[in-house]
Structure 1
């Protein structure tokens, strides 16, 4: 039997617990856990007081969050998308390592908005914004070597895309997730996943995204030791790509692909399967490379090194690996540094 203090004393205790002037002893913790329905961590604070009133039920706070989520307008969603775009540009030019905190905060804001949005007309635009942001965050995590975090972000992006009823976003997140498997040495499984991504996109996909998916399939098939499949996917990518110099897909802002980008992808796949035409495609891509894609240029240099190694041209391979290492160090790309080291061991 617990001897309880007077009502006046309890009021003092509650006030002191709230203000951090008195810690909750084990004697009272047992009672408060049962009374308030909270865990030990929640009871002892961890940043917010949950004993503000023995009669508090949380509905006021919940309704406040729901009301706040209702006020999210299309303008606010566009602001979320603009923030994602800014982070994408910074990542492309500077690398992902310095953006972890900003990206984490951005995702948390979007997840909070989606958690407390109730009706579909509010949830879907927020879910679409979250799908794009989560997929970008996943690629950044993969670049800095945080592979489990990358996988979880891709899963978040896929769930958000499904809620938003956006097959293109779902296909893109699924296809990029295949690279996690590929980097882990599970290329055959990655081939299955990227083909599933094409199925998920269905007939709603833009031509540029369709070409992007085929180009990614070609690379992954090459890494899986499937040269014929890789060549067929490259042919499909070429046929699907819209003509012209424009690279940005207006229907899928995370997709950049024109003939110059595809030349790099073609050269990469051909180098992986040992095709002698790889060098020509890669030098064509190097000559047309967008100077703002700084981190991607490390990958292109690695591709060229790989193509020269296949031809026994080790001096040229060394020079491209030197350039790739400089860029990878500048952008703090763990993924590209790993590839540089793997190729260096073959020279």
Structure 2
């Protein structure tokens, strides 16, 4: 039964008819049977009005199409309670299993996170919800029964990285509540792992949820708190990333001088050279070329005419597998051209941004594109 289905559908800006077409197209692509169009109209209406339970078969399709979990689709699904330890023997069995987690097993967890990160970057997050949910559940289960720090810290560190990725994917899918909860999980795991870099990164990304909710100034304060959390232990690349995030949030909060000052700090902190991956924070991709794109984004938000030059420069060197980043660049260029009243160029970039955003299924980017489109 699903008021949640209606919420997930509307987050994508789809009518019921559009959802039905997407279900039918999915069925053709995957050579699977679904009901007739007339029956699907009845099903969707009854699902959304809590008159029919979404079957597991249709739930699997809807999860892929809408990038939602079962809990979000069904809102309050009747699920079996998770199995709990029954007496000391069962508890000790789980503790023994967790304590036997080796370095190679932690590597498998991290490799799974890396695979999901790569798939997300190239294809978008909508189709990864089920895999990510299962991945987080396995990590949480292991951490829950790990007793000694030598076992807990590596698993907690893996969970912090995976939870932050899952949270960003949830933002991209328009699942704000899920994103917030994943960031809280990431922060708890980072504290458990005694990893201030992971904690600071999760705090700064969580600030984007506040910004999207209309509280960018509060997001700025959270990013600045992330700086304080790092103290002197943060890598230069992570510090540059935090300053760039602060600059963007300050721009959203109409704090122009603070935004420009944070940009300067980011440019001063970024390590030289083409390398973009932080060996201590694999979720951070940032070099001078990426920072030029971020700078263009911030300048576009500030209405600075220099944004166009920075953004076209970044577009020339962007990794072609970073589909979502390319969509963001074209959206930034729309905003930058609008500030210069260059409407033909803005329209051209808007079309490209919409095409790329549709490929990844990004709700967040499509919302921004719709807002920019309204200004043309």
Q: Distance in 2 between matches of 1:191 and 1:235?
A: 16
Equivalenced residues, count: 299
Partner residue, 1:295:
324
Partner residue, 1:216:
245
Partner residue, 1:66:
95
The offset of 1:48, in angstroms, is: 8.1
Once the two structures are superposed, residues 273-315 of structure 1 have per-residue CA deviations (whole angstroms, 9 ceiling, x without a partner) of 1111100000000011111111111111100000000000111
Q: Which stretches of structure 1, 4 residues or longer, exceed 6 Å deviation after superposition?
A: 47-50
Q: Distance in 2 between matches of 1:239 and 1:254?
A: 21
Once the two structures are superposed, residues 224-257 of structure 1 have per-residue CA deviations (whole angstroms, 9 ceiling, x without a partner) of 1011101100100000000001111111100000
Aligned residue for 2:184, secondary structure, equals helix
Alignment of 1:126 with 2:155, yes or no, is yes
Aligned residue for 2:282, secondary structure, equals strand
Alignment of 1:286 with 2:286, yes or no, is no
Partner residue, 1:327:
356
Alignment of 1:84 with 2:118, yes or no, is no
Q: Distance in 1 between matches of 2:255 and 2:148?
A: 47
The offset of 1:46, in angstroms, is: 3.5
Q: Distance in 1 between matches of 2:315 and 2:86?
A: 62
Q: Distance in 2 between matches of 1:258 and 1:217?
A: 17
Structure 2: segments with no counterpart, 5+ residues: 1-78
Alignment of 1:46 with 2:75, yes or no, is no
1:249 alignment partner, one of 250, 272, 278: 278
Aligned residue for 1:242, secondary structure, equals coil
Q: Distance in 2 between matches of 1:103 and 1:289?
A: 26
Partner residue, 2:205:
176
Superposed CA RMSD in Å reads 1.6
1:98 alignment partner, one of 127, 148, 153: 127
TM-score, reference length from structure 2 = 0.78
Q: Distance in 1 between matches of 2:222 and 2:375?
A: 29
Once the two structures are superposed, residues 38-78 of structure 1 have per-residue CA deviations (whole angstroms, 9 ceiling, x without a partner) of xxxxxxx937899xxxxx95221111111100100111111
Partner residue, 1:167:
196
Partner residue, 1:186:
215
Q: Distance in 2 between matches of 1:84 and 1:326?
A: 27
Larger C-alpha radius of gyration, 1 or 2? 1
Cα 1:134–1:313, aligned 2, differ >3 Å: closer, same or farther? same
Matches within 5 A, 1:308-319: 308-319=337-348
Partner residue, 1:240:
269
TM-score, reference length from structure 1 = 0.84
Alignment of 1:230 with 2:259, yes or no, is yes
Q: Distance in 2 between matches of 1:170 and 1:48?
A: 28
Partner residue, 2:49:
none
Q: Distance in 2 between matches of 1:202 and 1:144?
A: 33
